[in-house]
């Protein structure tokens, strides 16, 4: 289980690790965005240089809150809840924050209780 924090405007933030091709790990604070329904993770193009991930697909069109946009999709390695996973990562120039998409909710449980200051994300074990 990882603990998150609430932003000033009610945003949900979690610290995750991005793993570069060399094995180097980078700690980042990621915004959990339930409106990002088409993906697992999105990062800015400038963050890709240090990671050196492999390109899976170029210029994939995605509907965003600002309209249609094009992203390159890379194979990314992420450590979350002490587990390393490989997920497709949307990479673009206009992504201001590292963003976690709602696909994480297919494999993780999100618990949010703002009045009590509780925000957790944990991997769901298959029964």
pLDDT (tens digit, 9 = 90+) per residue, 57-102?
998 877 676 777 888 999 999 999 999 999 999 999 888 899 999 9
Tokens coding 118 = 């509780």
Taking CA atoms, 118 is separated from 9, 25, 91, 93, 111, in Å, by 16, 27, 30, 33, 7
User: Using one digit for the tens of pLDDT, what is the confidence trace for 5-41?
Assistant: 999 999 999 999 999 999 999 999 999 998 888 899 9
Fold of 2-123: Cathepsin D, subunit A; domain 1 (2.40.70)
- pTM for this one? 0.89
């Amino acid at each position: 289980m990882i603990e998150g924090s609430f932003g000033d405007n009610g945003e949900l933030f979690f610290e995750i690790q991005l793993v570069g091709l060399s094995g180097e790990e980078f700690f980042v604070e990621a915004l959990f965005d339930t409106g990002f329904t088409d993906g697992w993770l999105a990062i800015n193009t400038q963050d890709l240089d240090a990671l050196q991930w492999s390109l899976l697909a170029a210029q994939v069109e995605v509907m965003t809150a600002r309209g249609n946009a094009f992203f390159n999709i890379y194979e990314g390695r992420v450590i979350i809840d002490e587990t390393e996973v490989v997920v497709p990562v949307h990479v673009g120039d206009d992504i201001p924050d590292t963003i976690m998409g709602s696909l994480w909710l297919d494999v993780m449980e999100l618990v949010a209780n703002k009045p009590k200051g509780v925000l957790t994300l944990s991997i769901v074990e298959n029964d």
